[in-house]
Amino acid sequence: MTTLYLSDGIIKDEILVVGLSHKKSMRDGKASLVIESGDIALDTKKLLSILADMGATGNSDEVIKIPGITTRLLVFTGLGENKAAIDDEVLRRAAGAAARALSGSSSATFSLPTKKISTLEAIAEGVLLGSYIFNKFRVDSLAERNPSLKSATLHSKQAGSPGAKEAIKRASVIGKYSALTRDLINTPPSHLTPDSFCKEFTSIVKKIGGTAAGLKISIMTETQLKAKGYGGITAVGQGSANPPRLLHISYRPVKAAAKKNYAYVGKGITFDSGGLALKPAAGMEAMKSDMSGAAAVCAATIAIAVMKLPVAIDCYAPLAENMISDNATRPSDIITMYGGKTIEVLNPDAEGRLVLGDALVKAQENKGLDGIVDVATLTGAQVVALGTRTAAIMTNNQDFSDHFFAISKVAGEAFWPMPLPVELRASLDSPVADMANIGERMGGMLVAGLFLKEFISADLPWLHLDIAGPAYNEGDAYGYTPVGGTGMALRSLVALAQSAAIS
């Protein structure tokens, strides 16, 4: 990961990154460029004419490098339309795009407008998120790949304040655990199984101090899950040679009292072949990302522990591989979920709701919860409804949803509220069991949400986050978002805990 430094003094690096925005004159409608170099003064007149000659636009995701005057290289990163108060997320993305464009470089100074500490923090996050590269499985091709930008100095008048140091620390935690989330998502099922997922977190918990850090981890094996009646997790996992698990990470603040008590539950399908409802070959490889929810909730819980936030988190990851074999769950099979509900499995590809149902019931055995949040790459319908960059929030509690929505916006993650229309519920009725695992096709994201709602006690504030689209980027990199795993939901989950800490 890129190492971050703060400075308000002279620039020591050979690369200087500044912002570039565009504006339209009210008088003659002509477009012009504006250099946003924060607390560093540049000879903008000459630079602006060079940039104009080069056809610079200042649009977001445009990164232009020119020979510098006082530094060897001057890098302009697009901020889009010129604004008196630039949005933190615009700067987060611009910093990310520049950091990505600087892979292979050893150090760079970023000088962007940082009027508030939160802005400095956003820029720091952008640099760390944007410089991420997944090279774990390259051997022969590694040498021809540029490594991540080694270090970045954030230039700001705020550099000396204690608030700035804290901001950099928090950003580094976000950067580190976003990278962990992305690494897990990008790791293929040949190398990431329910068991190895658990081992990874067991070793992380140990490394950061275990009980001394307030963390406890427990893992249920397939035998234990069967014995205790976790019919959803075992039904989904039974077709695979890699048996299922239920991972539980609990965090309790060590010295402070917990101000809020949340359960985070993440879908952990290490590979979703569709089971006997086999998915088409084209695009099936993206289903290595079907554990994105589990990765996000577990990594967020570790991040919250590292930040020592005064909240209690119980994190559950129901882990299974959805495969085909003579032992795989068949369409028409009836299973008994943890807690006793029976489900007719009409479609083994609607497996996420089965593993989540079990885990949600388990999580609610803790009677002191203030809220429960599940995170899942649950439906293709989510992607159809909101596209690849916006995730959905569904809820039984408008206040909780509004609160989360506001927080996620500040964290720079795009969520949008979606309804749970009661009239769709009847489509999940089964002629033979308590419920079927699929219902009406239209509004499939909402139907999946309604299925999960059946496992939530009515008086417990609940959020269901369907991140099917934004969890995994199959297109080009943009802003601070790389190709592959994105880390979607991690920042909002940490921010939710932070907001509880200050309430």
Which tokens go with 221? 């094996």
Please state at what angle helix 88-101 crosses helix 117-130, rounded to 10 degrees. 30
3 state DSSP class of 238 = coil
Q: How far is the CB of 282 from ligand BES (least distance, A)?
A: 12
Q: Which is nearer to Mn ion, 17 or 376 (CB)?
A: 376
* Binding at 444: pick from ligand BES, Zn ion, Mn ion, none (beta carbon under 5-8 Å per type): ligand BES
Return the closest-CA partner of residue 463 out of 475, 444, 449, 482.
449
- Helix runs in 187-345, H state only: 194-207, 222-228, 231-237, 292-306
Q: Which is nearer to Zn ion, 271 or 480 (CB)?
A: 271
Q: Which is nearer to ligand BES, 198 or 376 (CB)?
A: 376
3 state DSSP class of 163 = helix
Q: Is 62 in the site for Mn ion (CB under 5 A)?
A: no
φ, ψ for residue 437, nearest 5 deg: -90, -5
Q: How far is 39 from 37, CA to CA, in rounded Å?
A: 6
Residue type, 413: E
* Binding at 380: pick from ligand BES, Zn ion, Mn ion, none (beta carbon under 5-8 Å per type): ligand BES
Q: Is 272 in the site for Zn ion (CB under 5 A)?
A: yes
Using alpha carbons, list the distances in angstroms from residue 230 to 215, 261, 339, 372, 437. 24, 24, 8, 19, 16
Q: Which residue is nearest to ligand BES (CB)?
A: 380
Q: How far is the CB of 334 from Zn ion (least distance, A)?
A: 20
* Interface residue list for ligand BES (CB under 6 A): 272, 290, 347, 349-352, 377-381, 383, 438, 444, 468
Q: How far is the CB of 347 from Zn ion (least distance, A)?
A: 11
Q: Is 237 in the site for Zn ion (CB under 5 A)?
A: no
Which one of 93, 288, 341, 353 is the catalytic residue?
353
420: how many CB neighbours lie within 10 A of its CB? Answer: 18
φ, ψ for residue 430, nearest 5 deg: -115, 145
Q: Which is nearer to ligand BES, 272 or 358 (CB)?
A: 272
* Binding at 292: pick from Zn ion, Mn ion, ligand BES, none (beta carbon under 5-8 Å per type): none
Q: Is 321 in the site for Zn ion (CB under 5 A)?
A: no
* Binding at 229: pick from Mn ion, ligand BES, Zn ion, none (beta carbon under 5-8 Å per type): none
Q: By rule CB under 5 A, what count of residues binds Zn ion?
A: 4
Residues linked to residue 320 through DSSP beta bridges, in sequence order: 269
Please give the helix or strand (H or E) that residue 166 lies within, else none.
helix 162-186
Is the distance from CB of 338 to CB of 232 less than 8 angstroms? Answer: yes
Q: How far is 385 from 470, CA to CA, in rounded Å?
A: 12
Q: How far is the CB of 155 from ligand BES (least distance, A)?
A: 40
* Binding at 108: pick from Mn ion, Zn ion, ligand BES, none (beta carbon under 5-8 Å per type): none
Q: How far is 264 from 494, CA to CA, in rounded Å?
A: 11
- Residues in region 259-288 near Mn ion by CB under 5 A: 272
Q: Is 290 in the site for Zn ion (CB under 5 A)?
A: yes
Which tokens go with 427? 């489509």
* Binding at 468: pick from Zn ion, Mn ion, ligand BES, none (beta carbon under 5-8 Å per type): ligand BES
Q: How far is 445 from 440, CA to CA, in rounded Å?
A: 10
Tell me, residue by residue from 453 to 472, as one string, x for binding to Zn ion by CB under 5 A and - for no binding.
Answer: --------------------
Q: Which is nearer to Zn ion, 166 or 285 (CB)?
A: 285
DSSP state of 284: G
- Residues in region 321-350 near Mn ion by CB under 5 A: 349
3 state DSSP class of 72 = coil
Q: Which is nearer to ligand BES, 88 or 290 (CB)?
A: 290
Residue type, 299: A
Q: Which is nearer to Mn ion, 311 or 355 (CB)?
A: 355
Q: Is 279 a catalytic residue?
A: yes
φ, ψ for residue 500, nearest 5 deg: -70, -35
Which one of 150, 169, 176, 279 is the catalytic residue?
279
Q: How far is the CB of 468 from ligand BES (least distance, A)?
A: 4
Q: Which is nearer to ligand BES, 120 or 433 (CB)?
A: 433
Q: How far is the CB of 315 from Mn ion (least distance, A)?
A: 22
Residue linked to tokens 């949803």? 401
Q: Is 352 in the site for Zn ion (CB under 5 A)?
A: yes
Which tokens go with 100? 């990505």
Q: How far is the CB of 212 from Zn ion (least distance, A)?
A: 36
DSSP state of 347: -
Residues that bind Zn ion (CB under 5 A): 269, 272, 290, 352
Residues that bind Mn ion (CB under 5 A): 272, 349, 351
Catalytic residue positions, numbered: 279, 353
